[in-house]
């Protein structure tokens, strides 16, 4: 039995849930190896700690400490696996994390981590292409629905609700589609437009807008089931950073039972796709006006997720990777 260490920036972060902490239990059972998940601030990373593990995986490493740790671990002949879910070289200035990741020192740290890794895993093919100049051994392991934790129950009847969720990092995306969202709220006063995690204060005030505070990932999955939205929308501006994002919104929206409105480059069955603000508006309007059968769209989407994007299936790719790293 091998000992595997996942080092992460924040165990409570949603990206960590999808890439490390949330997948560890199933991966342990599936691989037969021990998998520990530790955050950087949880324990001092020393040579004694590193020596206890057969594989070191670092999720989203970007600091000098993480780059130095990789070099140190490689001197000890430990296989290094790094995982990224975003393109950290192209954050928009409007993104609150831009100041952190746009630093020349941080960008050099990310390059060091990419170059030194024995293997790099990413969420989508586009991100793989962006990072390939730094490492040729990159594998795409998509984000997946955690069927180790959740089981889908009978869905509630759809409420007249339109749900968006996300952090302040999506401010530029929301501004890009603000005109269309304002128009939809005014044309459909019988629907509640709900915003979870971040409230776009720059939207026109209407009685049918509401805000829900962010919450931990487990409570969030339960909450969106209870909300029972008719539409779950993911407005993304078309740029390199967003094209490197994964389709978590499609997975979560489909879990909630909603019809999902997503960018066309995701290319997922059952979702209503758009390629510009006008198509985004038309897709949501078609569901709210009854032109599109939301239940049928969700059924198609969930069948696709059940076949290809369940953690019990996707984690097999990680098992194969671990076996290769162990030699």
pLDDT in tens, 216-268: 999 999 999 999 999 999 999 999 999 999 999 999 999 999 999 999 999 99
One fold for 3-144+311-326 and 161-308: yes
**pLDDT-wise least confident of 9-13, 58-62, 225-229:** 9-13
User: What mean pLDDT do residues 195-221 have?
Assistant: 89
Is 112 strand, coil or helix?
helix
Could you tell me if 70 and 58 are in contact, meaning their C-beta atoms sit under 8 angstroms apart?
Answer: yes
Is 30 strand, coil or helix?
helix
Pairwise CA distance, residues 23 & 2, whole Å: 17
**pLDDT-wise least confident of 99-108, 198-207, 314-323:** 198-207
pLDDT of residue 157: 92
Q: Alpha-carbon torsion 293, 297, 299, 300, what sign?
A: positive
User: What mean pLDDT do residues 48-63 have?
Assistant: 94
Tokens representing 57 are 């995986």
Q: Is the per-residue pLDDT at 202 higher than 80?
A: no
Q: Alpha-carbon torsion 283, 288, 289, 290, what sign?
A: positive
Domain ranges of the chain: 3-144+311-326, 161-308
Is 130 strand, coil or helix?
helix
DSSP structure class, residue 265: G
pLDDT of residue 9: 92
Percent of the chain with pLDDT over 90: 85
pLDDT of residue 16: 94
Q: What does the mean pLDDT of the chain come to? A: 94
Correct CATH for 3-144+311-326 of 3.30.428.10, 2.40.110.10, 3.40.50.2000, 3.10.20.30 = 3.40.50.2000
Q: What does CATH list as the number for 161-308?
A: 3.40.50.2000
Is 192 strand, coil or helix?
strand
Q: Is the per-residue pLDDT at 207 higher than 90?
A: no
pLDDT of residue 12: 85
pLDDT digits (tens, 9 = 90+) for 280-305: 999 999 999 999 999 999 999 999 99
Pairwise CA distance, residues 61 & 113, whole Å: 7
Q: Is the per-residue pLDDT at 85 higher than 80?
A: yes
Question: Pick from 264, 273, 267, 269: which is nearest to 296 by CA?
Answer: 269
Tokens representing 276 are 């510009």
pLDDT of residue 285: 98
* Residue recorded with tokens 């990206």: 15
Could you tell me if 86 and 101 are in contact, meaning their C-beta atoms sit under 8 angstroms apart?
Answer: no
pLDDT of residue 149: 93
């Amino acid at each position: 039995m091998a000992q595997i260490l996942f080092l992460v920036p924040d165990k409570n972060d949603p990206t960590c849930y999808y890439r490390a902490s949330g997948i560890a239990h199933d991966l342990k059972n599936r691989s037969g190896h021990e998998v520990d998940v530790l955050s950087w601030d949880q324990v001092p990373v020393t040579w004694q700690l590193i020596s206890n593990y057969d594989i070191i995986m670092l999720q989203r490493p970007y600091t000098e400490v993480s780059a130095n740790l990789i070099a140190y671990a490689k001197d000890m002949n430990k296989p290094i696996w790094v995982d990224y879910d975003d393109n950290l070289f192209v954050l928009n200035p409007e993104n609150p994390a831009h100041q952190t990741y746009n630093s020349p020192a941080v960008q050099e740290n990310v390059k060091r981590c990419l170059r030194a890794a024995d293997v790099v895993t990413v969420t989508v093919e586009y991100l793989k292409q962006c990072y390939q100049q730094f490492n040729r051994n990159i594998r795409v392991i998509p984000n997946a629905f955690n069927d180790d934790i959740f089981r889908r129950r009978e869905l509630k009847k759809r409420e007249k609700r339109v749900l968006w969720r996300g952090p302040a990092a999506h401010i530029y995306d929301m501004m890009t589609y603000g005109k269309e969202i304002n128009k939809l709220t005014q044309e459909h006063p019988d629907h509640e437009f709900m915003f979870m995690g971040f409230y776009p204060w720059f939207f026109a005030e209407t009685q049918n807008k509401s805000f829900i505070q962010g919450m931990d990932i487990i409570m969030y999955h339960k909450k969106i089931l209870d909300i029972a939205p008719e539409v779950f929308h993911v407005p993304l501006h078309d740029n390199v950073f967003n094209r490197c994002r994964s389709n978590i919104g499609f997975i979560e929206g489909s879990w909630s039972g909603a019809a999902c409105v997503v960018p066309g480059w995701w290319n997922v069955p059952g979702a209503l796709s758009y390629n510009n603000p006008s198509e985004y508006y038309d897709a949501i309007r078609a569901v709210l006006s009854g032109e599109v059968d939301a239940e049928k769209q969700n059924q198609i989407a969930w069948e696709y997720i059940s076949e290809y994007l369940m953690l019990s299936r996707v984690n097999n790719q990680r098992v194969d990777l671990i076996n290769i790293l162990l030699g």
